[in-house]
Amino acid sequence: MFRAHYENYSSNDILSNIFTVTVIDPCDKPVSVTSKTLTDQEYTITQAEQTYQVPVYDADPVWCAITYSYQIVDVAGDAALAFDSDAAARQFAFSQTTDLTLSGATSKVYTIAVKGEAGNVVTTSDTATFSLTIKNPCIDPSYVTIEKAVLLNQIYELHEFDPIGFEFTHDPFVIKTLPFDHSLCGSLTYTSTFMTVDIDETIAVFADPMSDPVRYD
C-alpha cells in the first residue's frame, strides 16, 4: 500500500489499495542450459590415472546453478572411470589395472553423455557426448615389450650324438611391462623356423627324407 498527497498539503491525501509484490527467482524456471563440445579421450589399461575436466556449460540466466551427471552406453566401461559431479570439479578419472575385457584384443570405444541441468522448480538441460577409447596394453610397446634371449651359434657334426641327436637349450625370452610388473598378457608362445620352414614338435619336419630332421620344443 502507498499514500499520495500534494507536496504542500500533506493532509489532502489518498491511500492506495493493498497490492502484493512477488519476487520470483529466475532460476526457478531458467531459459536454457547450453552444453559445450567435449573432447574424445583415450586410456590404456595399466596406465597411470588420467583425468578429463568437462568444460562449464552455460546457463541463462548465467547465475543459475548447473548440476552435472553422466551416462555411459556400455555400463561395463564404468569399471574404468569415476566422475566428480561437483559443479566446480566436473572431472572424470580413468583408471584400470586388471581387466582386459574392457579393451578386448585391441581396443573398445565407449560413448559417454554428460548432462547439465538447471532449474529449482522447472528444469531445463542439455547433453553433450564424447568417446572413451580403452586400449589393450599388450599390443603397445610403450607398455609391453619382449626381451629376447641371446641365441648362441651351434656346431653339429653328423652322427656325433647318435642315436639321441644333438640337443641344446636357450634362455627364455622375458616379458617387460610398464609402468609396473604384471602378467595380464599371459605367457609367451615360442615358434621357430629352419631354412624358412616352420618347425613343430615332430621329428619329421620336411617332406624330403634326405633333409636333416629338426625338432623344437
Domain containing 87 equals 26-137
Number of Cβ within a 10 Å radius of residue 157: 7
Q: What is the pLDDT of residues 151-178, one digit of tens each?
A: 888 887 777 777 777 777 888 999 999 9
pLDDT at 203: 46
Cell readout for 41 is 579421450
197 is a domain residue: no
What distance in Å separates the CA atoms of residue 215 and residue 64, rounded to the nearest whole number? Answer: 76
Domain count, the chain: 1
C-beta separation of 25 from 116 below 8 A: no
Number of Cβ within a 10 Å radius of residue 50: 15
Pairing relationship of beta strands 124-135 and 41-44 according to DSSP bridges: parallel
57 is a domain residue: yes
145 is a domain residue: no
Is residue 62 scored above 80 in pLDDT? yes
**Which residue is it, cell 630332421?**
213
74 is a domain residue: yes
37 is a domain residue: yes
Tell me, what CATH number does 129's domain have? 2.60.40.60
Burial group, residue 59, by CB count within 10 angstroms (0-12, 13-18, 19+): buried
Cell readout for 44 is 590404456
Average pLDDT, the chain: 87
Closest CA to 17 of 28, 3, 34, 36: 3
pLDDT at 1: 59
pLDDT at 115: 98
170 is a domain residue: no
pLDDT at 215: 65
Cell readout for 71 is 551416462
pLDDT at 20: 79
What are the two backbone dihedrals, phi and then psi, of residue 78, each rounded to the nearest 5 degrees?
-60, -25
Residue 62: partners with Cβ closer than 8 Å, 6 or more residues away: none
Q: What mean pLDDT comes out for the span 100-118?
A: 97
46 is a domain residue: yes
120 is a domain residue: yes
